[in-house]
């Protein structure tokens, strides 16, 4: 069979299964999720055997230590994966929620109701626990899923998907709700993201290369989890201790993630007072500082920031600092260089907080808190499949709610136009 | 200047204006809308002069009578356009509406707030009143817009856009909120739909050719207003008079629109009783009937429906009829052949109504009402820019609400992770 036909076969099966799944009750879905958790736990040894194959192949192919670590499934991680599935079973089902409802002049009753999207395509890199995670989130929100994992994790992904499908087979739900692409051929991704006949949305999770490849090929809508070039702006009237604490947290607690701070903007009226201590604290945490001219007039022994720095997501212990005139200049800088992810103002000024919240074009805008809070778990979503940098449909953390769309259910008693 | 640079110039200007517009008050926006209406009314003669140029060119180019009629702006139509703008000024502003809000364990307060999308690209065919309509809807919902009208209406569109921009110039808002592409070069569309740097969404309104061209080129997300292949299913237990009335309305009242019925599905238990009278009524309205084998056993003097008929959006006084076993078969037929637009069940059966509402995958699912109600005005949206056949972001009628997205506004008092 041709690769294209194979992928379209997944598509057709997933679509068909999704139409039945849309009518399943929350109880049916939760019971399967619990059964999946049970089976993953019971088959731990088989998972470890398959994972060992991936680990050995990875070592032979000289994967980096970091990649090998992401690939590894030990007892603890398998248990974490199982608990994740159980957690999803315990979350509120968004499907069927009435968003709003009204009666029109003609007397027809309109309800706007949350319904599953349909078929999700999930494309991800090495971590094999994503297989169970994404499948469980899709199922709970009433969607079929086609999973395309990284080739490094193919054996681990296969065994996990096999166990999940076994649970579906033992239930009243269709096993084709969960589909793992078994081949590692590259073109499979192309067919998947162009299969508008069956796919409703693509969710990629991976590095820049993956994102770029998908955006150049995709015909199906994509929920991107792209760059996070986040700023923190220190306004003229602030609680200095709070500002130090939030900035250290936003930069240092986990510098490699998308909601970490990359550029610090400082109001000129507080720069003299704020920056020497702040930079000192950063240096103690091993952060390399790159400052604008004015910053270097206050603290001289730091590197010079170039225009490239304002547009760079370091994902590392590096920070650029710029002194600005006022809140307007901060907003303007952020709207030019930011990636629309998470932005913060630290201020005691009511008007500047409002101005910043309204004027900054980003998924999440903070006053007096760390940008590190942009996260499904921190938001209380219970679980997340990523953080969207799109503006349409889903913006910010993507949880169960964001995996639904809506339909209008209209009832009448014979109305005609 | 190269065409690409011209289009990118519009993009940059529109984007810049949109960031300021996001901070405008409802009052400011409404005042400009009222000023626009006033200026359109005052400059009626100039509009008619420019429209006459388009009409004359249209006649020279042998445009069809229907197209020429769509192109025409007379006093009555200009007044209709003005009233449309005034109506939009009177609608509730969705921007700033709090969708939901909560406080997390850490004590940070999260508000999910409706905000403008940013920059909308509107691509439309001959009707020049769309210029004022779309611009007013965009402005009211806080978005900039780049308009690309049909070349037949270029003079009419130019004068309308000029008047609207004049009103913006006399206000505190930026004139680059509203931009009309002045050139009629074809490639302008390509640059517009690929300009991801500045555009947030594309809304096309036009025939199949336009939709196909855009879907093959677009890199920016598109809200499609695509096919409406709508069904009405007559269940076994129905009020026959109601069924006749709804079916005639759905097929005959305006057969050329997307929410008109194209295929009638009839439960086998009622077919004998229902179809002879129903088909008779359709024939009296001049509807050509194409029936399945079983339909032709009941009413013999009708054409035979082929498999192509199930997939055809006639947009004309033609109807295909199929007899089905039960609600499940009706749902299944609709999910295979329907376009996800509007679908109806006529029934007195509670369970079948629920099953149909849940099982049919469409933007709007009716019980005992005509599919013709899928419409912004009928839904009470006040105004619409189209009817989305997308599943993500906006589904069904697209009004002011659907021209917004959301952001999370988060406030804390020093929270760190």
Residues carrying CATH 3.40.309.10, chain B: 230-374
Asked whether B178 and B144 are in contact (CB, 8 A), the reply is: yes
Nearest of A312, A361, A311 to residue A341 by alpha carbon: A361
Q: Lowest mean pLDDT of A365-379, B187-201, B204-218, B289-303, name the range.
A: B204-218
Chain A nearest-CA distance from B231, in A, is: 15
Determine, for residues A379 and B118 on separate chains, whether the beta-carbon distance falls below 8 Å: no
Tokens encoding B62: 């042998």
pLDDT at B207: 85
- Which candidate from A104, A366, A380 shows the least CB-CB separation from B104? A380
Average pLDDT score over residue span B372-378: 95
Weakest mean pLDDT among A165-169, B151-155, B209-213? B209-213
**Inter-chain residue contact B414 with A367, CB threshold 8 Å:** no
The pTM (predicted TM-score) of the whole model is 0.95
Q: What is the CATH number of domain B230-374?
A: 3.40.309.10
Given B353, B368, B373, which is nearest A414 (Cβ)? B368
Instruction: Please indicate whether, in this complex, the C-beta atoms of B416 and A22 are within 8 angstroms of each other.
Output: no
In chain A, the residue whose alpha carbon lies closest to the alpha carbon of B341 is A407
Chain A residue numbers with beta carbons less than 8 Å from the beta carbon of B390 are 221
Q: Which of A361, A372, A412 sits opposite B367 (nearest CB)?
A: A412
In a mutagenesis test of the A interface, which of B196, B381, B417 is the best target, namely the one with the most A β-carbons within 10 Å? B417
Cα nearest neighbour of A340 on chain B: B407
Q: Which fold has domain B3-225+395-411?
A: Aldehyde Dehydrogenase; Chain A, domain 1 (3.40.605)
Which residue of chain A comes nearest to B20, CA vs CA?
Answer: A359
| Cβ separation B411–A335 shorter than 8 A | no
**Which residues on B lie below 8 Å from A408 (Cβ)?**
363-365, 374, 379, 395-396
Residues of A in contact with B408 (CB under 8 A): 363-365, 374, 379, 395-396
Arithmetic mean of pLDDT, B284-311: 97
Distance from CA of B407 to the nearest CA of A (A): 5
User: B92 by DSSP, 3-state: which?
Assistant: coil
Mean pLDDT of chain B: 96
Could you tell me how many CB contacts below 8 A there are between chain A and chain B?
194
Domain with CATH 3.40.605.10 in chain A: 3-226+395-411
> Is pLDDT above 90 for B126?
no
pLDDT at B302: 97
Measured between CA atoms, the residue of chain A closest to residue B358 is A23
Query: Nearest chain B Cα to A363, which residue?
Result: B407
For residue B415, the chain A residues in CB contact (below 8 A) are: 246, 368-370, 373
Predicted pLDDT of residue B122: 97
Mutation pick from B352, B407, B413 vs chain A, by most beta carbons of A within 10 Å, is: B407
Q: How far apart are CA B260 and CA B342, in angstroms?
A: 9
Q: Do B200 and A392 touch (CB under 8 A)?
A: yes
For residue B115, the distance in angstroms to the closest alpha carbon of chain A comes to: 9
CB contact under 8 A, A396 and B408: yes
- DSSP notation for A33-71: HHHHHHHHHHTHHHHHHHHHHHHHHHHHTT--HHHHHHH
User: In chain A, which segments carry CATH 3.40.309.10?
Assistant: 230-377
Residues in chain A: 417
Helix, strand or coil for residue A305? coil
Q: Kindly report the nearest CA distance between residue A170 and chain B, in angstroms.
A: 23
| Parts of chain A with a pLDDT under 50 | none
What residues of B are in contact with residue A354 (Cβ under 8 Å)? none
CB spacing of B104 vs A359 below 8 angstroms: no
**3-class secondary structure for A200-227?**
CEEEEECCHHHHHHHHHHCCCCECCCCC
Give me the pLDDT at residue B1, please.
81
Distances (CA, A) of A239 to A20, A234, A247, A343: 56, 10, 12, 18
Sequence length of chain B is 417
Give the minimum alpha-carbon distance from A417 to chain B in angstroms, rounded to a whole number: 7
DSSP per position, B8-76: HHHHHHHHHHHHHHTT--HHHHHHHHHHHHHHHHHTHHHHHHHHHHHHHHHHHTT--HHHHHHH---HH
Cα separation of A403 and A64, whole Å?
A: 34
At the topology level, CATH places domain A3-226+395-411 in Aldehyde Dehydrogenase; Chain A, domain 1 (3.40.605)
What's the rounded Cα separation, in Å, for the pair A108 and A413? Answer: 8
CA distance B26 to chain A (A): 14
* Shortest Cα distance, chain A CAs vs residue B185, angstroms: 25
Beta bridge partners of A58: none
For residue A358, list chain B residues with Cβ-Cβ distance below 8 A.
22-23
Distance from CA of B76 to the nearest CA of A (A): 24
Cβ–Cβ gap A408/B105 under 8 Å: no
Nearest CA in chain A to B108: A369
What percent of chain B has a predicted confidence (pLDDT) above 70?
Answer: 100
Confidence class for position B51, pLDDT limits 50, 70, 90: very high
Residue A272 near residue A328 (C-beta atoms within 8 A): no
* Token digits of residue B332: 């299944």
Task: Give the pLDDT score at B206.
Answer: 87
**For A317-342, what is each residue's pLDDT tens digit?**
999 999 999 999 999 999 999 999 99
Residue A44: alpha-carbon gap to chain centroid: 27
Q: Are A227 and A259 in contact (CB under 8 A)?
A: no
pLDDT (0 to 100) of residue B147: 98
Partners of residue A366 in chain B, C-beta under 8 Å: 410-412
Of the candidate CATH numbers 3.40.50.720, 3.90.550.10, 3.40.309.10, 3.40.710.10, the domain formed by A230-377 belongs to 3.40.309.10
- CA A264 vs CA A283, A322, A372: distances in Å: 14, 6, 14
pLDDT in tens, A235-285: 999 999 999 999 999 999 999 999 999 999 999 999 999 999 999 999 999
Which chain B residue shows the shortest CA-CA distance from A200? B391
The pairing of beta strand B109-116 with beta strand B98-103? antiparallel
Contact between chains at A395 and B372 (C-beta distance less than 8 A)? no
More confident residue, B207 or A146: A146
pLDDT confidence tier of residue B208, bands split at 50, 70 and 90: confident
Query: Rounded CA gap, A7 and A218, in Å?
Result: 15
Beta strand B404-415 with A364-369: parallel, antiparallel or unpaired? parallel
Question: Which among B415, B412, B107 has a CA at the least distance from the CA of A249?
Answer: B415
pLDDT reported for residue B178 = 98
pLDDT at A289: 98
Q: What is the ipTM of this complex?
A: 0.95
Gap between the Cα atoms of B360 and B357, Å rounded: 6
- Answer whether residue B363 shows pLDDT above 90: yes
CB neighbours of A275 closer than 8 A, spacing ≥ 6?
A266, A295, A298, A299, A321
* A22, A201, A219 ranked by CB distance to B359: nearest: A22
Smallest Cα distance from A230 to chain B, Å = 15
Q: Which of A252, A369, A382 to mutate to test the interface with B (most CBs of B within 10 A)?
A: A369
Tell me if residue B202 falls in helix, strand or coil: strand
Spatial CB neighbours of B301, under 8 Å, sequence gap ≥ 6 = none
Give the nearest partner residue to B110 out of A249, A379, A414, using CB atoms.
Answer: A379
Q: Chain A closest CA to B156's CA: distance in Å? A: 32
Name which of B219, B362, B417 is nearest A253 (Cβ-Cβ). Answer: B417
Reported as a single tens digit per residue, the pLDDT across B60-109 is 999 999 999 999 999 999 999 999 999 999 999 999 999 999 999 999 99
Q: Measured between CA atoms, how close is B311 to chain A, in angstroms? A: 14
Distance separating alpha carbons of residues B137 and B135, to the nearest angstrom: 6
Q: Which of B113, B247, B365, B391 to mutate to test the interface with A (most CBs of A within 10 A)?
A: B391
Asked if A19's CB is within 8 angstroms of B335's CB, the reply is yes
> How far apart are the C-alpha atoms of A394 and A388, rounded to whole Å?
6
């Amino acid at each position: 069979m041709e690769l294209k036909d194979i992928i379209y076969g997944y598509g057709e099966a997933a679509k068909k299964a999704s139409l039945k799944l849309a009518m399943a009750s929350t109880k049916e879905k939760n019971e399967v999720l619990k059964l999946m958790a049970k089976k993953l736990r019971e088959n731990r040894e088989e998972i470890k055997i398959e994972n060992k194959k991936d680990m050995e192949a990875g070592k032979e192919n000289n994967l980096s230590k970091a990649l090998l670590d992401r690939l590894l499934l030990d007892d603890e991680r398998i248990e974490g994966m199982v608990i994740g599935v159980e957690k999803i079973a315990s979350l509120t089902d968004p499907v069927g929620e009435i968003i709003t409802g009204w009666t029109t002049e003609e007397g027809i009753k309109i309800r706007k109701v949350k319904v599953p999207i349909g078929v999700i395509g999930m494309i991800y890199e090495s971590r094999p626990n994503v297989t169970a995670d994404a499948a469980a989130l899709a199922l709970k929100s009433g969607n079929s899923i086609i999973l395309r994992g990284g080739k490094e994790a193919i054996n681990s992904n296969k065994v996990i998907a096999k166990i999940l499908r076994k649970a579906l087979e033992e239930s009243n739900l269709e096993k084709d709700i969960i589909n793992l692409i078994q081949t590692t051929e590259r073109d499979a991704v192309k067919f998947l993201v162009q299969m508008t006949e069956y796919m409703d949305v693509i969710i990629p999770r991976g590095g820049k290369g993956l994102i770029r490849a998908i955006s150049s090929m995709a015909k199906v809508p994509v929920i991107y989890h792209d760059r996070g070039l986040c700023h923190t702006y220190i306004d003229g009237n602030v609680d200095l201790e709070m500002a130090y604490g939030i900035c250290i947290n936003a930069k240092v607690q986990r510098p490699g993630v998308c909601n970490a701070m990359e550029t610090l903007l400082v109001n000129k009226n507080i720069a003299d007072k704020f920056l020497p201590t702040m930079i000192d604290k950063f240096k103690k945490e091993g952060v390399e500082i790159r400052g604008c001219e004015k910053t270097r007039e206050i603290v001289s022994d730091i590197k010079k920031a170039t225009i490239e720095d304002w547009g760079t997501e370091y994902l590392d212990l590096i920070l650029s600092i710029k002194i600005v005139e006022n809140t307007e200049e901060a907003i303007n800088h952020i709207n030019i260089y930011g990636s629309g992810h998470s932005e913060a103002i630290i201020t005691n000024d009511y008007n500047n907080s409002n101005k910043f919240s309204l004027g900054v074009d980003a998924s999440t805008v903070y006053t007096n808190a760390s940008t590190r809070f942009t996260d499904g778990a921190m938001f209380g979503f219970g679980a997340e499949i990523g953080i969207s940098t799109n503006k349409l449909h889903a913006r910010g953390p993507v949880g169960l709610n964001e995996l639904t769309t809506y339909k209008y259910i209209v009832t009448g008693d014979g109305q005609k136009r």
